[in-house]
Amino acid sequence: MPWKTLACCVTAAALFSSAGCGASTSVSMAETEAVSPPTTENKDASVPETPTAEAAPAAEKTPVENMEHMVKTEGIAGCPVMGHVNPPSARNTALGVMSNGDWWPNQLNLKILHQNSAKGNPMNPDFDYAEEFQKLDVAAVKADLKELMTTSQDWWPADYGHYGPLFIRMAWHSAGTYRVADGRGGAGYGTQRFAPLNSWPDNANLDKARRLLWPIKQKYGDKISWADLMVLTGNVALESMGFETFGFAGGREDVWEPQEDIYWGPESEWLGDKRYTGDRELENPLAAVQMGLIYVNPEGPNGKPDPLAAARDIRETFGRMAMNDEETVALIAGGHTFGKAHGAGDAKNVGPDPEAATIEEQGLGWKNKFGKGNADDTITSGLEGAWSSTPTEWSNGYFDNLFGYEWVLTKSPAGAHQWTPKDDAAQGTVPDAHDPNKSHAPIMFTTDMALKMDPIYGEISKRFHQNPEEFQKAFAKAWYKLTHRDMGPVSRLLGSDVAPPQIWQDPVPAVDHKLIDDQDVVALKAKLLDSGLSISDLVSTAWASASTFRGSDKRGGANGARIRLAPQKDWAVNEPEQLAKILGVLEKVQKDFNDAQTDGKQVSLADLIVLGGSAGVEAAAKKAGHDVTVPFYPGRTDATDEMTDAAAFDVLEPKSDGFRNHQAREIHRPAEELLVNRAQLLTLTAPEMTALVGGMRVLNTNVGSGPLADLGVFTDKPETLTNDFFVNLLDMDTKWEKSPICDHFFEGKDRKTGETKWTASRVDLIFGSNSQLRAIAEVYASDAAEEKFVNDFVAAWTKVMNLDRFDLTPAQRHGVQ
């Protein structure tokens, strides 16, 4: 029998119940590789591989007939693939079973520092997504998307003949995972394609939306990422239903694996809510109310249909996702102007999510056994019905209905709490999504009722109802913010439809003067080192300014010099009194230089702060006998108070900064975990993080005075860039003990005399305790490694200083001259 017919075993339904082939279709890599084609000697002689003159060819059998024939003639009892699926306890490590994290669940997770390796990226090493996107005919993509909106597919029919509402939900849920506390989540990387997001209960059936988009993604290929395509599709969906959007920007580059750095919550089951304590106090940095939800429970808190309690959840959740009350009302009302909810039957009819579905489902999940399984038999949220009588047109119908009827609590066919007009007052006003001969009453969620019954939301809703144009503009701006909030400054945004800079994008002025040159840089460094400021002052201030950057949402950084503005100038970690003195000296150096120029040349304070740090690092290296030049690129500008939403910057405050050995009292997580978390936000690798901590300690940059200032400063030559931190940390003549002062502090004592030599924090000792970090520390502690350490420190320092310099080339941002 030809080898190709072996593949047909998985299509022979009768064989799945036989003794030789189990119900599971998950096969290990080892098993699949072990199967080889049958040899000529083993093939059935009565079925020639090719017809001969003596034997006329038999009629071609179907794949199932071939399989049945092989079972009968070769005596195979069931599936010919003789290996069996291993039970979970015996699976190999390719399936991720019993990793180090399973054996040691509290082990420090350094893998988050090395995500999205080039080894997992299928694109060519020189692939430049921004360059490719600029070649894209966006108008052609939008035309194709518009056609797709009304081209219903039999395998997943469009409600009302229009996929627009489905695609709005897809784009919304792609962006809606963003939270302000750490800037993680959002639409920026296309991660809705991967677990866990692709299988969250709140994302049910969005797998179909992405499959509907595949022909368009396939057509335009690398010129548009999935991340950009999902957001653009949401915009086109709105526009195709008569809504005028505020803008669209490209520039979201896909990742190729799930983001392991994001903490989605402590729960171990879908829709759990262990994230709450006390009087419904939500754990930071979380925003959603339950595991697997994007925002809030539409039925009300934990399914309790209480609109005012729902309003409390909405306000906290949307606030943690960067939305104020007006933006929240606009988004909910605007989104619910379109489409419908799906709850045609009991959720027991719905199969596993995409990650848990069988292999033949090919990444699709939530297979529905109810009726047709789609169209008017669709089960998604469990709620059922539409909010407006025109579900595929932009209108004020949502508010017309919300305020036009008295609403009563009822249940959907799936048993979910929802609201309908009292006494069937609006029966027949909403068209059926698939049958033109049917009609329905509108519905509202408990969360919709909150927009009417909450005093603050209610006033905003009434205003929007009475002023449709204001509502339209508010929704347009809120939608733009929702879908672009994690992209960083406007300079990163690509395309001809980019909206004007918004305050939430943390704008900075354009450069309007001649920049300093190399001679000026040398002269200014000398001035700074001769200003009376110490190396520690210069380095600490530059670090404080630049290290606010978050790679998650591209906020923060040295550009703008917002360290001199509220709230940054008053953060405890920045030691406000000392900072004010340092900034005063730097501003005098800036003024003296600028006043002396006659050709329009100027230096910004933002540039001068970074340059001061560079001068300090160079001076410290020179004291250690190393001549280095820290790469410097002028071009930063100084933001104003008017350009700065002070409240929005509160979330950037480093409550813990292991690089400066600082941790606020109210923070209770282990300091080493918070160090790795901050390093990940700074896009650092484990070696870069290690080099920076070792360098910052010997440069004497700790926050605080007295004993706090000495923690981890394992050197008798402070402000000298040596590898002393590593040498002394790994010295076996030192024995470490917990300090009697605090469980978080430690004393390093001479093993022979018992004399205290050093004091340290958990952050300091983790580089000797954690096996991976110790391995890196050993490199830097070697006798001949000081020059390497200095060079690595300079490279990592330069990287942090330039993280927000999106105007530089990648090589320049990493300090390559």
Residues annotated within a binding site for heme b:
336
**Strand bridging mode 734-738 / 745-750:** antiparallel
**Burial class of 492 by CB neighbour count within 10 A (0 to 12, 13 to 18, 19+):** middle
Contact assessment for residue 360 and residue 25, using Cβ atoms and an 8 Å cutoff: yes
Q: Are 136 and 224 in contact (CB under 8 A)?
A: yes
| 495: nearest Cα among 124, 257, 170, 245 | 245
Distance of CA 625 to the CA centre of its chain: 43
Binding residues: 336
Output the six-digit token pair for 363.
């990444």
Distance CA 63, CA 288 (A): 49
HEC string of 605-646 equals HHHHHHHHHHHHHHHHHHHCCCCCCCCCCCCCCECCHHHCCH
For residue 430, the cross-strand partners are 440
3-class DSSP state of 594: helix
Phi/psi at 750 (5° precision): -65, 125
Pairwise CA distance, residues 509 & 559, whole Å: 10
Q: Is 638 exposed, middle or buried (0-12, 13-18, 19+ CB in 10 A)?
A: buried
Q: What is the DSSP letter of 304?
A: -
Cβ neighbors of 287 (< 8 A, separation 6 or more) are 179, 181, 295, 316, 317, 320, 321
624 vs 640: CA distance, rounded Å: 39
Name the phi and psi angles at 555, rounded to 5.
Answer: -95, 165
What is the token pair recorded at 93? 């490590």
Exposure of 55 by Cβ count < 10 A (0-12 exposed, 13-18 middle, 19+ buried)?
A: exposed
Distance CA 427, CA 115 (A): 53
Strand segments (E) across 506-659: 656-657
**Has 173 been annotated as catalytic?**
yes
What lies within 8 Å, CB to CB, of 90 at 6+ separation is none
Burial class of residue 350 in the structure, from the number of CB atoms within 10 Å of its CB (0-12 exposed, 13-18 middle, 19+ buried): buried
Q: Residue 239: count other Cβ atoms within 10 Å of its Cβ.
A: 18
Of 173, 342, 417, 434, which residue is the catalytic one?
173
Q: Is residue 408 a contact partner of residue 425, using CB atoms and an 8 Å limit? A: no
Nearest Cα residue to 403 out of 323, 466, 473 = 466
Q: What's phi and psi for 798, nearest 5 deg?
A: -60, -40
Q: For the chain, give the number of residues.
A: 817
d(CA 777, CA 789): 10
Torsion of CA 736, 739, 742, 745, to 10 degrees: -40
| Residues annotated catalytic, as ranges | 173
